[in-house]
Structure 1
Amino acid sequence: MSNQPLLDVRDVSKHFGGVTALNGVSLQLNAGEVVALAGDNGAGKSTLIKTISGVYQADGGEIRLKGEVVKFATPEAARGHGIETIYQDLALADNLSIGANIFLGREPMTKAFGFLPVLDRKKMAKAAQETMAQLDFHVTRLDAPVGNFSGGQRQAVAIGRAVYWNAQVLIMDEPTAALGVPEQRKVVSLIQTLKAQGRGIIFISHNLQDIFAVSDRIVVLRRGTLAGERKIAETNHDEIVKLMVGG
């Protein structure tokens, strides 16, 4: 790991009218590290990740990516700098294949008969095969619509899309919610693969068991402020719950 954080959120604040959603929150993320973001509903988790990913602009503080101060006017700008957010609904097109979902909105084109532009389906299929192999995740039919896949496989497709576009920071919002135990294990395995590749992951979850299974550190928010930060190896569930509720 480099001494310089991959992502450095410094003293960030965000207001909505008279409501302070974030008040001087700081967070660091290193390459090859998983940092969990925990807190009750209304703690500021969603506002923080949306500020990092360009949905909102901070009213105070700064965000640094690989040491450089960045300001993202849109989520597209954040993605262009290697920050990808995988929301709970995954934003997949169920009727399309893995390759088509990887390129959704960014479809590659080639020319038929020397002049007629058509979808480059070979490139899409190759990207699907290589990306899924990179995640050590295998499905029997790469051309099948992703609506046929299980919850864990759909997570893999969403993660694969981020990996293909060279995301260095992945923000994962409740990736194990509504999944059975075997599917949760698959997602945990995917996260460990991403970590081994040197990517930084912000992991948002209400499930403390999952947080302790995959994270290196945990950052706890409460009412828009930083309630505490702990290394996973040096804390336990009870301490984290107390930080969350203010006990």
Structure 2
Amino acid sequence: MTAPAAPAKPPVVEFRNVTVRFGDFVALHDVSFRIEDVPNRGEFVTMLGPSGCGKSTVLNLIAGFQQPTSGEVLLHGVPVGGPDSDRGMIFQQYSSFPHLTVLGNVTFGMELDRSAGRLSAKGRHERAMDLIAQVGLSGHEGKYPHQLSGGQQQRVAIARSLAVEPRILLMDEPFSALDEPTRLEMQELVVGLWNRIQPTIFCVTHSITEAVYLGERVWIFCTRPGQIVYDIRDAIPQSPGLTPMAAQELPAFKQAAKVVGEAFRKVGDSKRAAPSR
């Protein structure tokens, strides 16, 4: 006799007909999507679109910083009620605590944990030191944020977000304030961490090449109202260890960037052609 199939797991993230309004402005309109729960494999979703199209609003809804005007936002089948440690967020502006060292910043979230599974002081220190090493800041543990470069401060933010082992990592234009060489380094760092740790990642960017390099799925939004109009999957084959510069030389990358770029331009053209309201 065949055993009954195991029930399907609920999606990691699911939006059901989500609309968000700020007064008369519609930030998101009737947005639905599912990010499936695949064992040991979090998806990496990058989001492109014009300003005001709802990309950051999607992150804020998942983070629990705001609620939809209508529709449902579910994490593992449960409505989002507010922020929690299962979601980490990294912002465009550096968000380290200025009065704490690198080590203090990375351990901060773990210090607040009051759950039964809380690590001991020794365990928290060891985990923090391991993450500091993984983001390439060994030897900087005792430095304060003002003693670090912009790229180093974002490395601290990434390590701090990962310290509490979030299942979902939300990134809102995290590298836009960095110079190009540092930005490429950070892209490679994040892909390496994602391959090792496997959280589900949502990343907002305005760079087509960054979206293609980072994302397994590339979403392109339109504005007025904000909606996902393109969902481009597997734009390029995932190749662990491939640097952004090397990836950009591949014919598959150039073709993917062309496809994404053309879709992005169509969104921009439709916005310009739309009558003003």
1:14 is aligned to 2:20: yes
Q: Write the mapping of 1:19-34 to structure 2, written as runs, cut at 5 A.
A: 19-30=25-36, 31-34=41-44
Preserved CA contact (<8 Å) 2:102 2:140:
no
- Offset at 1:94? 2.9
Kindly provide the amino acid, as one letter, of the partner of residue 260 in structure 2.
N
Kindly provide the amino acid, as one letter, of the partner of residue 47 in structure 1.
T
Preserved CA contact (<8 Å) 1:84 1:171:
yes
Distance 1:130 1:83 in 2: 20
- Offset at 1:245? 4.2
Query: Which residue of 2 is the match for residue 227 of structure 1?
Result: 229
Query: Which residue of 1 is the match for residue 104 of structure 2?
Result: 100
- Offset at 1:103? 3.7
Greater CA deviation, 174-183 or 157-166? Answer: 174-183
Distance 1:245 1:95 in 2: 47
Distance 1:156 1:167 in 2: 16
Cα distance, 1:144–1:150 mapped onto 2, change above 3 Å: same
TM score, norm. by length of structure 1: 0.81
Residues 164-195 of structure 1 show CA distances to partners (whole Å, capped at 9, x for unaligned) of 11111111111111212221122112221232
Q: Write the mapping of 1:130-141 to structure 2, written as runs, cut at 5 A.
A: 130-133=130-133, 135-141=134-140
Query: Which residue of 1 is the match for residue 62 of structure 2?
Result: 52
1:243 is aligned to 2:247: no
Q: Write the mapping of 1:1-247 to structure 2, written as runs, cut at 5 A.
A: 5-30=11-36, 31-66=41-76, 68-72=77-81, 74=82, 78-80=83-85, 82-104=86-108, 107=111, 125-133=125-133, 135-196=134-195, 197-223=197-223, 224-231=226-233, 232-233=235-236, 235-246=259-270
Kindly provide the amino acid, as one letter, of the partner of residue 243 in structure 1.
V
TM score, norm. by length of structure 2: 0.73
Distance 1:208 1:214 in 2: 10
Q: Tell me the C-alpha RMSD between the 2 structures.
A: 2.6
- Offset at 1:17? 2.3
- Offset at 1:209? 1.5
Distance 1:191 1:28 in 2: 23
Query: Which residue of 1 is the match for residue 251 of structure 2?
Result: none
Distance 1:105 1:132 in 2: 14
Distance 1:100 1:91 in 2: 13
Preserved CA contact (<8 Å) 1:97 1:142:
yes
Greater CA deviation, 34-43 or 229-238? Answer: 229-238
Distance 2:193 2:270 in 1: 33
- Offset at 1:243? 2.9
Preserved CA contact (<8 Å) 1:35 1:215:
yes
Q: Select the structure that is richer in strand.
A: 1
- Offset at 1:158? 0.7
Kindly provide the amino acid, as one letter, of the partner of residue 240 in structure 1.
F
* Unaligned ranges ≥5, structure 1: 110-119
Aligned length: 229
Distance 2:94 2:15 in 1: 25
Please state whether the residue corresponding to 1:79 is helix, strand or coil.
Answer: coil
Please state whether the residue corresponding to 2:183 is helix, strand or coil.
Answer: helix
Q: Percent identity?
A: 25
Please state whether the residue corresponding to 1:170 is helix, strand or coil.
Answer: strand
